[in-house]
Amino acid sequence: MKRILFACTAVLIAAASFTATPARAAKPKEQRVFVSVTAKGFEPANIPVKAGKPIVLVVTRKTDRTCATEVVMKSPAINVPLPLNKPVEIKLAAQKPGTLRFACAMDMITGQLVVN
């Protein structure tokens, strides 16, 4: 009987000392977007992404026959070289709805992230 009483008391003490921890706001998971540079340009050229989540644009140049040997964005200011056949990650902060345009250095080949 003492054992049962002791066990019940231990359970009650443990339950009384338990306090619920408020849920922390989950960090928004990044969106990974894959783009290839081919003879046709950036593929895909129009890329939908979600607003409020960080973006990782992974660009792989797959041809030497292109002027898109780098990715340039005006806002945010980005200018990143694209070595042949090597994926390059471009990390962007969470964005508000709108359009983020990117291009080659000559601004002849373009693409855009459409943020919704």
Q: Distance between CA 20 and CA 33 in Å, rounded?
A: 38
Q: Distance between CA 76 and CA 98 in Å, rounded?
A: 13
Flag whether 10 is in a domain.
Answer: no
pLDDT reported for residue 89? 98
**Domain range enclosing 90:** 31-115
Number of helical (H) and strand (E) elements in the chain, helices listed first:
1, 9
Q: pTM of the prediction?
A: 0.75
Number of folded domains that form the chain: 1
Flag whether 44 is in a domain.
Answer: yes
Flag whether 101 is in a domain.
Answer: yes
pLDDT reported for residue 25? 62
Flag whether 17 is in a domain.
Answer: no
**Mean pLDDT in each 10-residue stretch from start to end of the chain (116 residues)?**
49 46 66 97 98 97 96 95 98 96 96 98
DSSP structural state of residue 10? H
pLDDT reported for residue 32? 97
pLDDT reported for residue 75? 87
Q: What is the Cα 82 distance to its own chain's centre?
A: 19
Q: Which of 25, 24, 23, 45 is nearest to 33 (CA)?
A: 45
Q: What CATH number is given to the structural domain containing 101?
A: 2.60.40.420
Flag whether 11 is in a domain.
Answer: no
Flag whether 3 is in a domain.
Answer: no
Q: Distance between CA 101 and CA 103 in Å, rounded?
A: 7
Name every residue whose Cβ is closer than 8 Å to that of residue 29 and which is 6 or more positions away in sequence. Answer: 53
